[in-house]
Structure 1
Amino acid sequence: MKHRGIIFDMDGTLWDSAENVAKSWNKAIAEYGYKREPITKEDMYSVMGKTMDVLASIIFPNCACRDELIKVCYKEENDYLRTHGGQLYPQVEKTLQELSKTYDLYIVSNCQSGYIEAFFEYHGLGKYFKDIECYGNNDLEKSENIKLIVERNHIDEAVYVGDIQGDYDSSKKAGIKFIHAAYGFGTIDEDVAAIRQFADLPEVVGKVF
């Protein structure tokens, strides 16, 4: 019997954390003493899905202390999300519970270390996932982290569920299937399988595998 796995993106796929991330960054920036306009959730939407280094260069383009400040922001972000969470998309837990009866579930994100764990801690969803990986752990691009998850969990057939073009490109580069979370933050240039709401996933996954 084939070992089939579903690998999830986070932002724009499982939840929307932009508002609380912006709040945490503004708190961190104020405490650090750096002067800039307040970060908005729209600012965060514009960089969701990008690797940490690219995100930092966009949010703090002319900051000499960028490397130090971004670490302060990410620490505050993780602490804040552990106690405040984000906005889960409708029926996420119910759908994950259903999917986990048939498939092994995983997360691969371009986030910092601790972000996925904060998501688990606040929302109590860690019990549904077999393994996770992120850019912050190893500085690897998403396609390489998808490959890591597939290889170390001995997955025979995998699909990545994500919301932006970069997610599709990464899944294609990793050699696995893709489902577009069309309710998320982005569009896909190719004609791909898609879900309009998270609860549609069991039906669509069944058609993709």
Structure 2
Amino acid sequence: MDNLNKQKDCNFNERDELKNIKSIIFDFDGTLHNTIKIYYPAFASGVEILREHGFAKDFDLNEKNVSKFLGEKPNFAYELIAKGSGKSLKEEVMKHVGKKMDENIKNGIGELYDDSIKVLDILSKNYDLYILSNCRESYLDLALKVYGIKKYFNKCFAAETFGFISKDEIIKKERHNIKEEIIFVGDRYHDMEAARKNKLISIFCTYGFGSMDEGKKANYKINSIGEILNIL
């Protein structure tokens, strides 16, 4: 009974803290955006280039393996699957994949998760909303324009703007411009670390591209973006 009461007290205290929330920071890929739709075909074409140069031959190209790279910095995948290749080749492939991703968005291949727009519309009426993504500026600007969701956000941060430093460092730099208290919503370990290191409440998106282990220390977990409305 004591343990049950402690759990109830903990839940109550967390719920009580939510009353003071003024701002919500969203990750983009894997949180609002089902990025694998545009990323897998783009990445697959990049792997073809690497294989033509003798690299990535042992990489098992499938959606599960490719999805692990989503939410990471752009060079992360190529450092793993193209070890030993020159910097110029990696940069060539990164640019190629980025260009293909942009083309896929423009061609209507990409999609937001179900209820993403509904959630943003509802939450924007009561909270300041932000995006913080480990991505290129041009990619984020294009996606926001194509999906028509830029209007919901007070500001959108692409890691490229900050030289691809970690998300927790970006929050530290920009926190003075964001109303307290703040919640961070994301699907990868670095989202949860950004929240932890800045002492923010965290919501882990189990439907995204991170493993369940990455979200084990989150304050809340949601199985769809729509479930955030049950928390806030």
TM-score of Structure 1 vs Structure 2, range by shorter chain: 0.7 to 0.9
* C-alpha deviation, 1:148, in angstroms: 3.4
2:82 to 57, 60, 76: 60
Matching residue of 2:220: 193
Matching residue of 2:4: none
CA distance in 2, matches of 1:27, 1:52: 15
CA radius of gyration, larger in: 2
Aligned alpha-carbon RMSD (Å)? 2.5
Matching residue of 1:23: 41
Q: 1:30 to 1:127 in 2, by over 3 A?
A: same
1:49 to 41, 59, 71: 71
* Equivalent AA in structure 2 for residue 129 of structure 1: F
Q: Which has the higher strand share?
A: 1
Alignment of 1:172-187 (within 5 A): 172-185=196-209, 186-187=211-212
Alignment of 1:74-93 (within 5 A): 74-93=98-117
Which residues of structure 1 form unaligned runs of 5+?
Answer: none
Matching residue of 1:122: 146
Identity %: 25
Whether the aligned pair in 1 keeps the contact of 2:21 and 2:183 (CA below 8 Å) is no
Whether the aligned pair in 1 keeps the contact of 2:185 and 2:204 (CA below 8 Å) is yes
How many residues were matched structurally? 203
1:106 is paired with a residue whose SS is: strand
Which residues of structure 2 form unaligned runs of 5+?
Answer: 1-19
CA distance in 1, matches of 2:78, 2:90: 7
TM-score normalised over the length of structure 1: 0.84
- For the pair 1:112 / 2:136, whether they are aligned, the reply is yes
Alpha-carbon deviations, 1:133-175, whole Å to 9, x = none?
1222222111122233432x33221110011222111211123
Q: 1:11 to 1:193 in 2, by over 3 A?
A: same
Task: Write out the 4+ residue segments of structure 1 that deviate beyond 6 Å after TM superposition.
Answer: none
Which sits farther off after the overlay, 7-16 or 98-107? 7-16
2:31 is paired with a residue whose SS is: coil
Q: 1:140 to 1:176 in 2, by over 3 A?
A: same
